[in-house]
Structure 1
């Protein structure tokens, strides 16, 4: 009886001891499994003692460290993803199977297609040159760079860079393709080159004339009073043209760089038009051209800088006079659009008109439809470009309609 009772007591004590040992062990196992399954928030909460307590503390410290590291990794991934997604360059990651692993929105915009992942790069890159660039990178395991022009979905000039992704053993595991759109940069470079070439040519013409006539005078022509007067007149005209050219270049530069301050005031538009016509009337009189000014029933007043408005009108009206034949007609109209709160100024002539192929280019610097006539009239080729920049700096727009052989109409719309 006593022996039996002792066995029961021993069994109970053994069960209690076993539970105190196995429960913490099971909890440690469960937490370890949670960590293995990326549940880094899991912790051991049971009370233990001795070696089990040390083991529990170590597991909790490990879990805390892993959780902190994973939070930092996730934060870095978010930052990296934000940078990649907002880059102005297109990025494409290609694995060793030649499949696309990742792209950013700019790459999709350049390629003209979405959902590129898991597709073969040679099916997506609709450019033989781009495909060859990636192929060389995969074969040679070295970075490749090339300037490539693509024509689909639209024509673009790209700075293409392909860089290999290498493992520690030197084996290639993928390629990073970086595409940067440099179309606008190349266009601006061409504009700059054309501008420098045009400026050089336009400056060279009067300078050559000045030099030539001065040398002729020094060689003895100065003693001929008639030739002296004629050559000095030409030298003065070319000097004036050179001065106008330099002033127009400086003016255009100031406007483009927005260094021109606007001193706005209440301006009577009809009054400015009439004053401008009086300025160019002698020029029109030499060709017997009729200048027709607006005849408004009520004054139209707008917020503007009088000098800038007059500069716009002088360029447009004088341009119309140049390209209108003898006894022609130049008409200036002014209307007010109350709904849009804008003022519309039109300058219409019945001159030679502008060919369709030239209309899109007439606002370019130094562009002339009739170079011989413009140069003979003393034009610099910058007048319409100056008009366009002044109008746009005032928040307006300038448009042109023309029929070759019938005349041209320039329409300037300015906010009131």
Structure 2
């Protein structure tokens, strides 16, 4: 970032030097060159060419707030219409700098073409160009700070959420420890409080582990242990791991896989992602319902082959306003249900990052009260030879083992 700023500063300096030289020549040949109302200098001059290659918006204005130069980036931002500024806040900034001779800046939120309703944030820096002891011109530089502001907001939210999530089990453990101390003469109460302490301790440990996992997934590390992975295998492992939870809740888990599909990546991570989806489906489903795990080959409109691994349930569903947020860290559709199940709010965020790191994506379809389907899409790496020509394999698990 420091190098980029230095290069931009150098280019702006070069452009301004060339522009100042052009102004000097124009004033020195006042009898030969038309005055300030003449058309701007040809676009091929050094100042215009230098400004045109910058990835920041630059506008140069004279004392009458007339835009003498505006590079393509500034034009696309629509802060200049012809030779006039379009925003009153920019005019006020220019007047302030012209009067005081001191550089100043403001932050703007603009809607730009091609970005839909999304606003783009710019830091606008106004710098005076002295001319004979007074401000002759003012340069406006527009730097896009949208990503920086969004990242700062995400960081603040993340720190606040982590603090809250860690505080809850820690506070519970403290209170339970005090309760155990006060009930030292009551073995039954001690046993009851100790059980609750164990649950809170497990939840705390799971939260810390998932935070570590999420931090590692968001890092810049190369994907470890890449290789061909059988989709049948990771689906089978996820279903098998859900056996105990399914038995406890009376949920039937059905596997239906298109055999022989292979993807490339890290088997442990993909198993974790699919396991999270299956565990969520079971946790948010009522008793005596079904959760299905399916895998199939799909070809998109561009002719690219993908493997879709879908986990569908007959649970409570997700309201439409929540669909765009379910993959956010710590976001929970049902806070009370999450507390009851010991959820941390990180499971789906981990799924999203694992899918992205493998060149894929994860999506959700849901209707409130009618269940949800989470689909993890991964690039197809190939097909394994099939020993059994049967097109599909089906396995069912439930509280009452399928016989």
Separation in structure 1 between the aligned mates of residue 145 and residue 251 of structure 2, nearest angstrom:
48
The normalised TM-score by structure 2 is 0.77
Match of 2:357 among 383, 388, 393: 393
Aligned residue pairs, count? 330
Give 3-state SS (helix, strand or coil) of 2:242's partner: helix
Q: How big is the shift at 1:305?
A: 2.4
Alignment of 1:52-91 (within 5 A): 78=46, 84-91=51-58
Alignment of 1:361-372 (within 5 A): 361-372=325-336
Of 154-163 and 400-409, deviating more is 154-163
Separation in structure 2 between the aligned mates of residue 309 and residue 152 of structure 1, nearest angstrom:
38
Paired residue for 1:55? none
Asked if the contact 1:254–1:260 (Cα under 8 Å) also holds between the matched residues in 2, the reply is no
Give 3-state SS (helix, strand or coil) of 1:379's partner: coil
Q: How big is the shift at 1:182?
A: 1.5
Paired residue for 1:282? 244
Paired residue for 1:292? 254
Residues 282-325 of structure 1, C-alpha deviation per residue, up to 9 Å, x if partnerless? 112222111010154x4323333221221111111111111111
Asked if the contact 2:65–2:94 (Cα under 8 Å) also holds between the matched residues in 1, the reply is no
Separation in structure 1 between the aligned mates of residue 246 and residue 240 of structure 2, nearest angstrom:
10
Separation in structure 2 between the aligned mates of residue 96 and residue 135 of structure 1, nearest angstrom:
8
Question: Are 1:345 and 2:306 matched, yes or no?
Answer: no
Match of 1:198 among 128, 148, 161: 161
Asked if the contact 2:180–2:194 (Cα under 8 Å) also holds between the matched residues in 1, the reply is no
Paired residue for 1:149? 109
Alignment of 1:36-47 (within 5 A): none
Q: How big is the shift at 1:165?
A: 1.7
Question: Are 1:270 and 2:232 matched, yes or no?
Answer: yes
Question: Are 1:175 and 2:138 matched, yes or no?
Answer: yes
The normalised TM-score by structure 1 is 0.74
Paired residue for 1:8? none
Paired residue for 1:313? 274
Question: Are 1:354 and 2:318 matched, yes or no?
Answer: yes
Question: Are 1:244 and 2:202 matched, yes or no?
Answer: no
Asked if the contact 1:320–1:349 (Cα under 8 Å) also holds between the matched residues in 2, the reply is yes
Instruction: Kindly indicate whether structure 1 or structure 2 has the higher relative contact order, using CA contacts under 8 Å at least 6 residues apart.
Output: 2
Alignment of 1:100-249 (within 5 A): 100-111=67-78, 119-121=83-85, 125=86, 127-151=87-111, 155-168=119-132, 170-218=133-181, 220-249=182-211
Residues 297-355 of structure 1, C-alpha deviation per residue, up to 9 Å, x if partnerless? x4323333221221111111111111111212111111023652321111111111111
Paired residue for 1:411? 375
Q: How big is the shift at 1:155?
A: 2.5
Q: How big is the shift at 1:120?
A: 2.1
Of 82-91 and 371-380, deviating more is 82-91
Asked if the contact 1:270–1:294 (Cα under 8 Å) also holds between the matched residues in 2, the reply is no
**5+ unaligned residues in a row in structure 2: which ranges?**
1-24, 26-44, 381-403
Q: Which has the higher helix share?
A: 1
Paired residue for 2:287? 326
Change in Cα spacing, 1:205 to 1:396, as seen in structure 2 (3 Å) is same
Match of 1:98 among 45, 62, 65: 65
**5+ unaligned residues in a row in structure 1: which ranges?**
1-37, 39-76
Q: Which has the higher strand share?
A: 2
Paired residue for 2:3? none
Q: How big is the shift at 1:371?
A: 1.2
Asked if the contact 1:334–1:344 (Cα under 8 Å) also holds between the matched residues in 2, the reply is yes
Of 181-190 and 365-374, deviating more is 181-190
Separation in structure 1 between the aligned mates of residue 141 and residue 262 of structure 2, nearest angstrom:
55
Asked if the contact 1:145–1:162 (Cα under 8 Å) also holds between the matched residues in 2, the reply is yes
- Larger of the two Rg values belongs to structure: 1
Separation in structure 2 between the aligned mates of residue 178 and residue 232 of structure 1, nearest angstrom:
63
Change in Cα spacing, 1:261 to 1:98, as seen in structure 2 (3 Å) is closer
Separation in structure 2 between the aligned mates of residue 165 and residue 171 of structure 1, nearest angstrom:
8
Q: How big is the shift at 1:152?
A: 6.3
Separation in structure 1 between the aligned mates of residue 243 and residue 101 of structure 2, nearest angstrom:
74
Change in Cα spacing, 1:183 to 1:210, as seen in structure 2 (3 Å) is same
Q: How big is the shift at 1:262?
A: 2.6
Separation in structure 1 between the aligned mates of residue 284 and residue 191 of structure 2, nearest angstrom:
30
